[in-house]
Amino acid sequence: MHESWKFFLQTEFGKPYFKELSDFLHSEYENKVIFPPKKLVFSAFTTNLSEVKVVILGQDPYHTPGAAEGLAFSVPKSQPIPPSLINIYKEIDSDIGHHANSSGSLREWQKQGVLLLNTVLTVEAHRPKSHSGKGWETFTTAVISYLNANKEGLVFMLWGRDARNKKSLIDASSHLVLEAAHPSPLSAYNGFFGCKHFSKCNKYLEENGKKAIEW
């Protein structure tokens, strides 16, 4: 994790809810197959806090072997591009003409200041949303609240119901809030396709004196 997150994370790690979550996760990792690997759970927080410009909020990690790497929607370069990310790339192509990534890894976005955060950071193999309601939602609520209070001019992309539930935490007079359906094949046609979040994001960043993201 990047040093810039140290104060925030140490504060959260010391709270009772996180102790309960940690105990739950210790048991889960000991007795079940859990994704992502322990060392990758907090990969989103390797993004330098001072450089964060965009927050993409997803749901929970990929639940198939080798896919989850602690960054929302991203997979290692060696992995096939998942359906949700295929749809994200389709929307980028439709919105701004092309996407820059040649694989399913979104680490280049991360390097540009995109915080790729899920609302729940772990999952049991082949059991989507199996770690919902265990404490992660409290943690990610704290993350969004912290960003809202300590940064200005962020772009929040809230995709899917779980992400959109965080809208009330964000001051829309200080940040740009973009909402859409989840890019999953089950819901992308219900408002993700055509949302034009990527061009809207870059327009807002440039209007606020920040460099656009190379999507």
Active site members = 60
DSSP string, 118-133: ESS--EETTBTTTTTT
In whole angstroms, what is the distance from residue 175 CA to residue 188 CA? 25
- Enclosing H/E stretch for 177: strand 176-180
In whole angstroms, what is the distance from residue 79 CA to residue 44 CA? 19
User: Count of residues for the chain?
Assistant: 215
In whole angstroms, what is the distance from residue 71 CA to residue 115 CA? 8
